[in-house]
């Protein structure tokens, strides 16, 4: 045993903005700039309207998400693990950057799935997103499943879909067991993931919110940090590694 506290991090879009991936709900977020874009990641619209799917595939084709690289915040989490601190990452992000930064895969729970894979809504076959995007680049504007002809979508949880109950159960268990819980770069507005902060506050763990905008859980937090995440999170995690938090 290390004797060090179990640290859980709930990370949202704000952790990845320094990697060039835009957030959704911030002042310059995607939903504020283009409210129609939300339909592209809403399951009912996506399944019902081929034009929505074609737009969504064009958006994925033009997105730089799969080219993004971890930033200082992602690397700081990996460094915390290497320092011997028990750490678990519960991420609302679908970009896979925590794993790319070097955090052990078994210590990362991707609550909303991953954009790095596709899944068939019919037979549930999965594959690398690069393969589907190559088909789009070759002229298939809404590539069907090659196994069953079904509709393909990213292996992410779209609006209107339920989170995997097994993953959510694991996340709740981590929230109940941790001694320090850091909510970083998340608006804490999307349930049920946001409710994990309430679970933490209820059982008395230390709750730290690192976010540019106010969140519904600020008044229950032990500490609220409004500094840029790219500098604030690494500094906070260095203090934890050194036993100063």
CA 217 to each of CA 28, 31, 74, 184: distance values in angstroms, whole numbers, following the listed order: 22, 22, 23, 12
> CB–CB of 82/240 below 8 Å?
no
Question: Looking at the DSSP assignment, which residues form a beta bridge with residue 117?
Answer: 128
Token pair belonging to 227 = 């500094």
Question: Looking at the DSSP assignment, which residues form a beta bridge with residue 207?
Answer: 181
Give the pairing type, strands 113-120 and 206-210.
unpaired
Q: Which of the following is catalytic: 74, 98, 112, 203?
A: 112
Q: What share of the chain is helix, strand, coil (3-state, %, to 5)?
A: 45, 20, 40
User: Could you give the CA distance from residue 52 to residue 41 in angstroms, rounded to a whole number?
Assistant: 9
Token pair belonging to 130 = 């690069």
Q: Is 98 a catalytic site residue?
A: no
> CB–CB of 118/127 below 8 Å?
yes
**Dihedral pair phi/psi, residue 120, rounded to 5°:** -85, 130
> CB–CB of 29/185 below 8 Å?
no
Q: Catalytic residue positions?
A: 112
């Amino acid at each position: 045993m290390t004797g060090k506290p179990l640290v859980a991090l709930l990370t949202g879009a704000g952790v990845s903005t320094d990697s060039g991936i835009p957030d959704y709900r911030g002042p310059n977020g995607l939903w504020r700039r283009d409210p129609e874009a939300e339909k592209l990641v809403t399951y009912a619209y996506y399944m019902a309207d081929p034009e929505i799917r074609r737009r969504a595939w064009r958006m994925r084709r033009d997105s730089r998400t799969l080219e993004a690289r971890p930033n200082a915040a992602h690397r700081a989490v990996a460094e915390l693990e290497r320092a011997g601190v028990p750490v678990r990452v519960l991420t609302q992000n679908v970009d896979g950057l925590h794993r790319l930064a070097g955090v052990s895969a078994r210590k990362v729970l991707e609550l909303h799935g991953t954009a790095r894979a596709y899944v068939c809504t019919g037979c549930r076959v999965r594959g690398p997103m690069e393969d589907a995007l190559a088909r789009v680049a070759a002229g298939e504007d809404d590539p069907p499943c090659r196994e069953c002809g079904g509709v393909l979508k990213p292996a992410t949880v779209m609006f209107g879909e339920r989170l995997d109950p097994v993953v959510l159960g694991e996340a709740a268990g981590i929230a109940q067991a941790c001694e320090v819980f850091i909510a970083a770069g998340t608006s804490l507005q999307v349930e049920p993931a946001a409710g994990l902060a309430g679970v933490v506050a209820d059982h008395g763990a230390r709750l730290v919110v690192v976010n540019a905008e106010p969140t519904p859980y600020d008044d229950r937090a032990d500490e609220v940090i409004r500094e840029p995440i790219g500098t604030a999170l690494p500094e906070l995690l260095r203090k934890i590694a050194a036993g100063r938090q």
